[in-house]
Structure 1
Amino acid sequence: MTRPIAILRPEPGGAATAERVRAAGLDPLVLPLFAVVPLDWTPPDPATFDALLLTSANAARHAGPGLDALARLPVLAVGRETARASEHAGLRVIEHGQYGVETLLARQPWSQRLLWLAGRDRIAIEHPAIRAIIPVYASETIAITGAQALSLSGTVALVHSARAMRQLAAQLDTHRIPRTSLRIAAISARAADADGRGWDRVAIAPRPDDTALIEVAQRLAIDP
């Protein structure tokens, strides 16, 4: 018996992950725990920066008209999905990372002047090249029903962030669904450690991308 794969990320990322899950021969259960909404923001003078740092495809998708004022700046994107969303928004990607933002930033000179277009809720990143941070989107939590929480029992849940891990744990605890009924495929150790108590099994992807995450989930999906 193969367990379903629970996809908790907001749209349109959830649908894209579901396609990849199906392509891997697995059954997706799409149950977003967040909805992404744009924030009001004012673009700064692009002349004061050398490049944009985008750590999520949602920044490119939801930044809105303000992004046009910064289109002359090249983009450092964390991951292929973020790079694709940036190019779709008309931006020029000069580098994208495969092993997380820390690895990407380690290759940047300290004299680089980066503008980070970020989410409202984010993990702090320390690097001298980050000269300013502007939140351009927010991921609002979605409370799921008891029936939806119950449907997660017996699945392998894909956890794309530390915040998603905490929200999953909170929703299951609210509806008294045992954590032992789920297995967790986490995109990073940070995500796995956000609330790592009581799960049946937890595995961490070797790279922070969907392909690696689904490969890990595929192994967890096979009982026992």
Structure 2
Amino acid sequence: MSAPPIIVVRPEPGGSATVAAARAMGLEAHACPLFAVAPIAWSPPRAEPFDALVLTSANAVRHGGDALTRYTALPVHVVGEATAEAARGAGFSVAGIHDGAQSLFDSLGPTGTRNVLWLCGEDRTAIEPGALDITALPVYAARPIDPPASFAALVSSPATVLVHSVRAGERLAALVEHRASVAIAAISDKVAQACGDGWARIVVAAEPNREAMLELAERMCQTTGCKHTAGQ
């Protein structure tokens, strides 16, 4: 019997990249995005008042537009290797790569950094700023879209869904009523909680990155249970 498929609900282009990586591991994977990312109008401030630039998603680089060039002299701190790669491709010098937004900001205080420009999404993680003065400026938005026609059939049978954000978890919970045969691989505890109850199993990745998510999904797709555990 073949293993249950993996369903990736990330927006593009991250969804297709994750599916390609899963298929390279020999897994059956399907892209079923629940959101589409698009640029939004923003007024870029002068770079001079800021000590550092923070990018928590590659979407900020993809959708920030030509105005990003005024910040290339700032040290850039990012979340994840994909964001780092996008930033370097846009001409930025990456000073640090972090696993999450809060840990990134926590690391800046001891360095003497005070004024931080955060180019982010319209919907973003709540941050405890500490001693930092953070200017959060949305440059893109993720809008809900209808899932592809294949989605309903995929979630009506045993499957493992990779969930990378709280909003995706909430949307998935709203879309899938009969969920006892569907397992969830969540990127964090908050994301797992957003998915709600009633799934075959919810497991949190050991680290908040694509590699850890796929390794987890590879293990999960062979079995289902009825528990929420961390980093199995």
Which residue of structure 1 lines up, in the alignment, with residue 121 of structure 2? 119
> For 1:154-213, what per-residue CA distance to the aligned partner results, in whole angstroms no more than 9, with x for missing partners?
21000001111001111123xxxx111210000011110113211100110111100001
**1:21 corresponds to:** 22
SS in 1 for 2:4: coil
> Displacement, 1:131?
2.2
CA distance in structure 2 between the partners assigned to 1:214 and 1:197 by the alignment: 22
Structure 2 residue runs of 5 or longer lacking an equivalent are 225-232
1:34 counterpart residue number = 35
Task: For 2:190, give the aligned amino acid.
Answer: R
1:139 equivalent in alignment to 2:146: no
Q: Does 1:150 align with 2:153?
A: yes
What's the CA shift string for 1:44-79, capped at 9, x where partnerless? 110000111111111111111111122221210011
Cα distance in 1 for partners of 2:3, 2:171 equals 25
What is the TM-score normalised by the length of structure 2? 0.89
- Output the CA distance in 2 between the equivalents of 1:107 and 1:213: 24
Q: Percent identity?
A: 43
Counterpart amino acid of residue 201 in structure 2: R
- How far apart are 1:96 and its partner, in Å? 0.4
Amino acid in structure 2 at the alignment position of 1:155: A
2:188 is matched with which residue? 188
Please give the alpha-carbon distance, in whole angstroms, between the structure 1 residues aligned to 2:212 and 2:77: 21
Q: Partner residue of 2:93?
A: 92
What is the CA-CA distance between 1:151 and the residue it aligns to? Answer: 2.0
Per-residue deviation at 1:130?
4.2
Instruction: From the superposition, tell whether residues 200 and 87 of structure 1 become closer, same or farther in structure 2 (CA, over 3 Å).
Output: same
- TM-score, L = length of structure 1: 0.93
* Count of aligned pairs between the two proteins: 219
Secondary structure of the residue aligned to 1:109 is: helix
Q: Which residue of 2 aligns with 1:213?
A: 213
| SS of residue in 2 equivalent to 1:84 | helix
Shift in CA distance, 130/213, structure 1 to aligned 2, threshold 3 Å: farther
